[in-house]
Structure 1
Amino acid sequence: MSADLKDRVRSSFRRQRRELGSTAATAGDFASAAAPLLHTLPASSQVACYLPMGSEPDTSRLLEDLFAAGHTVLVPVCEPERQLSWRRWAPGTELAAGLFPGIPEPVGPRLGLDAVKGLDLLFIPALAADAAGTRMGKGGGYYDRFLARFRAAGGTGRTVAVVYDHEFLPAGELPADALDAPVDGILTPSGFKPVPSSGVYT
């Protein structure tokens, strides 16, 4: 697969994100779409979800719903060498500048892989995703690296890419290479789409 092709496709979706206007989906839309999936979670699950920035799909209500349901909510922290660690989140948690000054992160102890191997569900950001589970990230590789380590350590939590409706594509329409970690499902404002071949929802 050509890296140039992947960069062109990524740039196209980035441009579409920048052009999103007032018709973009709300935090409530994503939370409502995720509700049936949340109902499948065991009590007191450990769930990861990103803090939305800019034009990313707004997970703020979803984060609140997860916490209100009694789940342990973890959010990602960018580390050097394109690695991720995690911190606990709750409504009102203090935020501070992290590795990237424009991206706030919760204040508190950082959790490494050993502490999060039991994650039950991970909502992860994406620029686009297709019905085969191919996820197009922003190009940093943070989540692909983490998910590879997570699976190698025995982590079995379900992974869900969060995108807008127009960013969910038919299977095979997104370029991918061996380093791209597939997801088990896709969440859009219209609902949750499982990836049947993943086997985790059957």
Structure 2
Amino acid sequence: MRADGPVVIAMDGSPHSAQTLEWGLTAAELREADVVLARAYQEPREMTQWSWYPILDDLRFDTEAKQYLADTVDHATSRHPRLRITTRLLHGPEVPLLRDLTDDAQLLVVGARGHAGRSRIGRVAAHLAAHARCPVAVVRDVTDEAGPVVVGVDGSPSSLAAADVAAQEATLREVPLVVVHARPPLPAPYGTEGIGLLTPWPRRTRTT
């Protein structure tokens, strides 16, 4: 991870991409960083395995993807004129190609659901969050409320690194930082039989 690297925003053309784009552009402005808009798509399996010639639909998609990035840059520049924005059109598997861009990036921004929209987090976002070489922001529904930054820690090296990133994010956004540590309740040290020992015995009176 480079502290002076760009903010990479992964675009997939889904309806959620507009929110991902806006969140990433705002994050880049806070960091005073350059922006790379990346679009990755996989060629048909027949082309990669059998070296078939591309059909017109494949060529049309390539042209549409380039136009999509160009239109997105125009829109982003009009809303954030101070940012320096470039594009990358990647041919091949999304996860490894986007992961390669994180070698020199300071932040990767991806949408939570992509085209599927059925699960809380999509396959691409989940893999990149686990394997990227820089911090990853998985953008869900964006609100205008500036709430605190919350980070969960368990004492492991990775959680301490997450806390460091969270502290930087809270400083940039000028919001509180909430550090959370959760653990299950401790079991009774002597088993369930020991619990009864904690109950006071009833007092007995002696008669003569």
User: Does the alignment reach a TM-score above 0.5?
Assistant: no
TM-score range, shorter chain: 0.3 to 0.5
TM-score (ref. length: structure 1): 0.38
Higher-helix-fraction structure: 2
Higher-strand-fraction structure: 1
